[in-house]
Amino acid sequence: MSNTIIKTENLTKTYKVGEIEVPALKDVNIEIKKGEFVAIMGASGSGKSTLMNLLGCLDLPTSGNYFLDGRNTSNMSKNEYADIRNQKIGFVFQGFNLLPRTTALENTELPLMYDRMNKNNDHRKKALEALERVGLADRVHHIPSQLSGGQQQRVAIARSLVNEPAIILADEPTGNLDSKTSVEVFNIFQNLNEEGITIIMVTHERDFASFAKRIIEMRDGKVIKDLVINNRLNAAEEMKRINVEYEIED
């Protein structure tokens, strides 16, 4: 029990659109341990993003409880929520969500600016290290519009890990990328996971889900399947295989 990092109790989210109530999550109970790599799957509209936003403290549930590191988040203040987003969780969005007209380096530094614990004073050095970890050391002064989609997503990943979070949440991180670039991104996630960061990601493709260690499948706002992956794929090997295929094609 002590190494449980995420636990939800009847987590429910109902959106209100005018008079109509849209149930997006219905009594979701999940438990995730430290160091896990979870892929969340399910049809469009099944509530995956809704769940991720709640786990990332970006949104509040309609009812139910969410325990993070054993602490119930339901009675936390807005500022505590902000601090959790800053300290514990890194979030990677499908649409990157980088600040426009702002360099990769400055985008990566952003979470450090709001770090009240002041763990690290040298923002620049920290951000450079994070960009190095995602293989972007040579693009630090580029602004998003000068970067490819894969590179932008790597900046977003660098930003999510710059403050050494315990958890990285990624909502369809490769949804806008081609398959080769996607495998590169999963390679980064697998490496981060090896280093001990808990990773939860949403993906539509069963092939990509095989990079994780566990799959949670959702339908109509409920968890319908929760299983361990037996024949897990290694992204580094996949990259080699793809490169060989490309060479043969050439």
Partner 1 sequence: MQAKIILKVAVKSIMKSRMRSLLTALGIIIGVAAVVVMVAVGDGAQLQVENQIASLGSNLIIITPGTSTTGGVRGGAGSFNRFTFDDVDKIKNECLLINGVSPLVRSGGQIIGGIGNWFTQVQGVSPDYLEIRAWDLQSGEFFSDRDVMARSKVCVLGSEVVKNLFPNDDPIGQQIRIRNVPFKVIGVLKEKGQTAVGTSNDDVILAPSKTVLDRLSGGRFISSIQVSAVSADKIPEAIVELKSIMRESHKLSPGEEDDFTIRDQADLSEAATETSRILTILLASVAGVSLIVGGIGIMNIMLVSVTERTREIGIRLSVGARASDILIQFLTEAIVLSLSGGAIGVLLSFFIAYLLNNYTSQSAFIKPEVIMIAFGFAGAIGVFFGFYPARKAAALNPIDALRYE
Ligand X SMILES: Nc1ncnc2c1ncn2[C@@H]1O[C@H](COP(=O)(O)OP(=O)(O)OP(=O)(O)O)[C@@H](O)[C@H]1O
For binding to partner 1 (CB under 8 A), which residues are involved? 53, 56, 58-60, 78-79, 82-87, 91, 93, 97-102, 110-111, 113-115, 159, 163
Closest to Mg ion by CB, 128 vs 215, is 215
Closest to Mg ion by CB, 8 vs 49, is 49
**Nearest distance in Å: CB 236, ligand X:** 28
Residues 11-70 that bind ligand X (CB under 6 A): 15, 17, 22, 24, 42, 44-50
Beta bridge partners of 31: 7
Q: From the list ligand X, Mg ion, partner 1, none, which binds 181 (C-beta under 5 to 8 Å, kind-based)?
A: none
Q: In angstroms, rounded to a whole number, what is the distance separating the alpha carbons of residues 181 and 241?
A: 13
Query: How many residues in the shown chain lie near Mg ion by CB under 5 A?
Result: 1
Q: Does 203 bind ligand X (CB under 6 A)?
A: no
> Token match 């399910």: residue?
42
Residue type, 24: A
**Nearest distance in Å: CB 115, Mg ion:** 28
Closest to ligand X by CB, 45 vs 135, is 45
> Token match 């649409």: residue?
95
Residues 189-208 that bind Mg ion (CB under 5 A): none
Is residue 70 helix, strand or coil?
coil
- The arrangement of strands across the sheet holding 37-42 comes to 89-92, 167-171, 198-202, 37-42, 214-219, 222-228
Residues recorded for the chain: 250
Closest to Mg ion by CB, 162 vs 218, is 218
Closest to partner 1 by CB, 112 vs 183, is 112
Q: From the list partner 1, Mg ion, ligand X, none, which binds 60 (C-beta under 5 to 8 Å, kind-based)?
A: partner 1
**Nearest distance in Å: CB 81, Mg ion:** 21
The conformation of residue 29, written as its DSSP 8-state character, comes to: -
| Cβ atoms of 186 and 235 closer than 8 Å | yes
* SS3 letters across 25-44: EEEECCEEECCCEEEEEECC
Q: From the list partner 1, ligand X, Mg ion, none, which binds 230 (C-beta under 5 to 8 Å, kind-based)?
A: none
Q: Does 224 bind ligand X (CB under 6 A)?
A: no
**Nearest distance in Å: CB 95, ligand X:** 11
Where helices occur in 3-119 by DSSP H, the ranges are 48-55, 78-87, 104-113
The closest of 139, 120, 94, 242 to 181, measured between CA atoms, is 242
Residues with Cβ < 8 Å from 79, sequence gap 6 or more? none
**Nearest distance in Å: CB 209, partner 1:** 24
Q: Does 49 bind Mg ion (CB under 5 A)?
A: yes
**Nearest distance in Å: CB 59, ligand X:** 9
The closest of 177, 129, 133 to 152, measured between CA atoms, is 177
Question: Which residue number places its CB atom closest to Mg ion?
Answer: 49
**Nearest distance in Å: CB 41, partner 1:** 21
